[in-house]
Amino acid sequence: MSVNLTALKVMIVDDSNTIRRTAETILSKAGCEVVTAIDGFDSLAKIVDVVPDVIFVDIMMPRLDGYQTCALIKNNNEFKHTPVIMLSSKDGLFDKAKGRIVGADEYLTKPFSKNELFEVLERIVASRQTADSPLQG
């Protein structure tokens, strides 16, 4: 399955400069429009102007963690349908469950490969295209 990621607006929220740069480089080369934020507050300040199609949020961040950030995004009427992908260095069942509770759509363990990044985006884009399909009653 190959989904066109060109013109997809992606926000990367991570306090790690390395993760932000890596994801931004990979996604920009695929044709995505990438906006980065250094933490939850930064992302909330930018989200209204950017209106991303997909948001990657690191779980472990200072001030406002990924769970709180995801919950705030999902509780906002304008952004509740925006897919949120949690990023974590832990591949724990508890973290995944907690992510689901706050409304996360996917979960990606760091460090992630280029292929893993594209796979998760393809699933999100494909599910949105299915949801937008006029055949869905």
Burial 108-133 (b: 16+ CB within 10 A, else e): bebebeeeebbebbebbbeebeeeee
Burial 44-53 (b: 16+ CB within 10 A, else e): bebbeebebb
Would you write out the chain's pLDDT as a tens digit for each of its 137 residues?
456 888 899 999 999 999 999 999 999 999 999 999 999 999 999 999 999 999 999 999 998 999 999 999 999 999 999 999 999 988 788 888 999 999 999 999 998 999 999 999 999 988 877 776 665 43
CATH class of 9-128: alpha beta
User: How confident is the model at residue 23, as a pLDDT?
Assistant: 95
pTM of the model: 0.91
Locate the domains of the chain by residue range.
9-128
Model pLDDT for residues 13-41, shown as the tens digit of each residue: 999 999 999 999 999 999 999 999 999 99
Q: Closest Cα partner for 54 from 64, 43, 41?
A: 43
